[in-house]
Amino acid sequence: MKGKTKDVPQRTLERLTLYRRLLNALHQEGARHIYSHELADMAGRMPAQVRRDLMAVGYAGNPARGYEVEGLIKSMRRFLDKPGGQNVALVGAGNLGKALLAYFKGRRPNLRIVVVFDIDPNKANRLIGGCRCYSPARMAQVMKARDVRVAVLAVPAPAAQEVADQLVAAGVQGILNFAPALLRVPESVYVEDLDMTMALEKVAYFSRRGPARKKVSRGA
């Protein structure tokens, strides 16, 4: 698994997706070129960090004009996206799951939720937000048929581990976990925990005790 691309730091990858979003908007508005300090301002970062992050995608700017917007976007696409896109499964079609389905719909064309799983038998075989919903029993079969390797987990915490096991058995390589539970999965499976309660507690805490703030100057 020791690839040619030297490990991209996780934080760098996050920022790259952000830069891309900003660049797309810029491109829409007709911008042709951009300097690292401009992108940095928009992203709330230091120019040096933007430049260093962009080193990872291997697109060279030019001291006179900065970075060529369209070319940079293309490079980032090559770097970030899997050609042909990646299908995603959603597990858990409760309140949160349904909201996520709607939220992700059309947001990243390259990353589409194509199936839903839910234990509720009433939901089986029905369409939810345009996606077919299946019983978890059919997970392995459906996932293989649709070539799904990425899953969004939006089930209650007590069910999370069991579902994660099923996902792994069905060949999933990456899980975006909304459940407040630590998933035990094989080394090769990537888990990203998105703990909303933790995030809210953090805001509550730091909004009282002064700013243990990001250094980012967020302007006036």
Residue 153 Cβ vs a second copy, minimum distance, rounded to whole Å:
10
Name residues contacting a second copy, limited to 65-84 (CB under 8 A).
80, 82
Q: Which of 64, 84, 204, 215 binds a second copy (CB under 8 A)?
A: 204
CA angle 201, 202, 207 (to 5 degrees): 105
* Residue 54 binds: one of DNA, a second copy, none (C-beta under 5 to 8 A by kind): DNA
Q: Which of 86, 116, 143, 170 binds a second copy (CB under 8 A)?
A: 86
Residue 62 Cβ vs a second copy, minimum distance, rounded to whole Å:
26
Q: Which stretch binds a second copy (CB under 8 A): 5-13, 53-61, 62-70, 131-139?
A: 5-13
* Residue 111 binds: one of a second copy, DNA, none (C-beta under 5 to 8 A by kind): a second copy
CA 2, distance to chain mean position in Å, is: 23
